[in-house]
Amino acid sequence: MNANSKRLHVITWGCQMNVYDSGRMADVLAPLGYAPTELAEAADMVILNTCHIRDRAAEKVFSELGRLRLLKQAREAAGGQMVLAVAGCVAQAEGAEILARAPYVDIVLGPQTYHRLPEMVARASRAAGAVIETDFPTEDKFDFLPDATAPTGPTAFLTIQEGCDKFCSFCVVPYTRGAEQSRSQATIVAEAKRLVAQGAREITLLGQNVNAWHGAAADGAPGTLGRLIEALAAIPDLLRIRYTTSHPRDMDDSLFAAHRDIPQLMPFLHLPVQSGSDRILSAMNRKHTAAEYLNIVERLRAARPDIALSSDFIVGHPGETGADFRATMALIEAVGFAQAYSFKYSPRPGTPAAAAQMQVAEDVKDARLQELQAKLRTQQAAFNAACAGQTVDVLFTGPGRHAGQLGGRSPWLQPVHADGPESLIGTVVPVKIVTGNPNSLTAMLPSHPLEQERPQA
Ligand code: 5AD
Ligand code: SF4
């Protein structure tokens, strides 16, 4: 190892966008000699990449910072240094508060400024005091970042869009991530080609509102996500394409056509609905009704009959009655989800819903969440169980938990385990699903000896 090399420890909370951002922050610091370490106590720099979306975000950050402060003090007592940076959405929303309450923090940076990290590190290590960068700068950070480094396996994330203009009543994202911004098709395709050259076989396109992507297409005019996916599908060896997270209002014709026509686009869509009650959808400022959501599901299934759906739900938004909750349960029944995420409403300071009358009592939220999650668990288990006996294409992504085992994912994003040689990692193999477990599938390779030994019927 280079004697000058420094160690960087990144702690990532929250969404896939944060996972991608953490990777890019590591990329931008690599030329300064920072190499990743798993050990916070041995790090010359620690970045805490935070999430503000739900409960007790700030308290969680301060308690983690308390822990890191002890490590920083121990390192300084031993004659070393530890630059402590707080990034992500809590940094954006509460930057000043962080520096006031945790003055040992050296750098606070919002999601739009991480390309400026090298300069911030230089300023912080000149002992010029703490550095705070939480504006929404006019330059595009992607123009200032080095190329992304190699993905850690056959799957990779690629951010194509950031920010959100939707302003759902409950959500902090439009405030922390700012207005919608799309990267151009040319830069996205170039990054995808690099990822594929480095071994990626599946790319998940990321954005807070990914299907609102309207970056410059090849001809310079605003493009659509469907056409962008078409351009990406032309990259040889890119076997699978996914995108997340989408808003129902931005499902346009080009996207339905992409699901119909592009085999690399996987038959799985995470499409948050939040509630099945039109009254609550309106209070949430979602800009769609339950019937419109069901219509989208129908169109998707017509375009791609094997498509599976995932969603996000919030129970206990201000004003939600028992009847509203029943409407959500009815929507779940009508769709049949392959998986889903569900949350109790948690007031986010500064959002309209936090100031609304008629907050729902905590015990009511608890009871509703339990009932809703039980239903979603049943649907997920049924979806997985129905895979048993089928032959399914699996992208093997790495070794499994046991020796001789591989881990991978199905077209519907289910984790799959099968015994097989490591040479299959990075390839898509048709496998026979033996068992559909509640959270994963167990499979057998076609040429597995056990299968060959099975007596003929
Ligand atoms: N309370 C509960 N859940 C929330 N989400 C976003 N904001 C809140 C909040 N204030 C959920 C939504 C969103 C997902 C990422 O997090 O369901 O789709
Ligand atoms: Fe938040 Fe709504 Fe935007 Fe999604 S669409 S990021 S829930 S404001």
Give the ligand whose atoms come closest to the C-alpha of residue 318.
1
Q: What is the reported pLDDT for 82?
A: 93
Give the ligand whose atoms come closest to the C-alpha of residue 274.
1
Looking at residue 36, the DSSP 8-state letter turns out to be E
Task: Domain ranges for the chain, please list them.
Answer: 6-133, 153-266, 391-453
CA 164 to ligand 2 centroid distance, Å:
6
Q: Which CATH number fits domain 391-453: 2.40.50.140, 3.40.47.10, 3.40.50.11390, 1.25.40.10?
A: 2.40.50.140
Estimate to the nearest angstrom the gap between the alpha carbon of 47 and the chain centroid.
Answer: 19
- How high is the mean pLDDT of the chain? 92
pLDDT of residue 3 exceeding 50, the answer is no
Q: What is the reported pLDDT for 4?
A: 58
Q: What is the mean pLDDT of residues 272-280?
A: 98
Q: What is the reported pLDDT for 167?
A: 95
Q: What is the mean pLDDT of residues 440-446?
A: 94
For 122-131, 315-324, 325-334, 446-455, which range has the lowest pLDDT when averaged over its residues? Answer: 446-455
Are both 153-266 and 391-453 of the same fold? Answer: no
CA-closest residue to ligand 1 atom 13: 312
For the chain, report the end-to-end CA distance as a whole number of angstroms. Answer: 60
CA-closest residue to ligand 2 atom 2: 168
pLDDT, tens digit (0-9, with 9 covering 90-100), for 246-264: 999 999 999 999 999 999 9
Confidence of residue 53 (pLDDT cuts 50, 70, 90): confident
CA 327 to ligand 1 centroid distance, Å:
19
CA-closest residue to ligand 1 atom 16: 53
For 50-59, 67-76, 134-143, 271-280, which range has the lowest pLDDT when averaged over its residues? Answer: 134-143
Pairwise CA distance, residues 81 & 344, whole Å: 41
For 54-63, 364-373, 380-389, which range has the lowest pLDDT when averaged over its residues? Answer: 54-63
Q: What is the reported pLDDT for 47?
A: 96
AA letter at 155: T
Supply the pTM of this predicted model.
0.87
- For every residue of 264-301, DSSP letters joined together read TB-SEEE---B-S-HHHHHHTT-S--HHHHHHHHHHHH
Pairwise CA distance, residues 229 & 84, whole Å: 39
Higher pLDDT, 353 or 140: 353
pLDDT, tens digit (0-9, with 9 covering 90-100), for 288-339: 999 999 999 999 999 999 999 999 999 999 999 999 999 999 999 999 999 9
- For every residue of 321-374, DSSP letters joined together read -HHHHHHHHHHHHHH--SEEEEEE----TTSGGGG-S-PPPHHHHHHHHHHHHH
Q: What is the reported pLDDT for 451?
A: 47
Cα–Cα distances in angstroms (integers) from residue 371 to residues 87, 164, 286, 332, 375, in the given order: 36, 31, 23, 12, 6
pLDDT of residue 420 exceeding 70, the answer is yes
Report the top-level CATH class of 6-133.
Answer: alpha beta
Higher pLDDT, 149 or 213: 213
CA 343 to ligand 1 centroid distance, Å:
7
The kind and range of the H/E element at 253 are helix 253-261
Task: For ligand 1, pick from 17, 273, 275, 343 the residue to mutate: most ligand atoms within 8 Å of CB.
Answer: 343
Report the top-level CATH class of 153-266.
Answer: alpha beta
Q: Which pair of structure tokens corresponds to residue 414?
A: 């289910």
Confidence of residue 367 (pLDDT cuts 50, 70, 90): very high
Q: How large a percentage of the chain has pLDDT more than 90?
A: 77
Q: What is the mean pLDDT of residues 331-358?
A: 94
Task: For ligand 1, pick from 52, 53, 173, 368 the residue to mutate: most ligand atoms within 8 Å of CB.
Answer: 53
CA 399 to ligand 2 centroid distance, Å:
36
Confidence of residue 40 (pLDDT cuts 50, 70, 90): very high
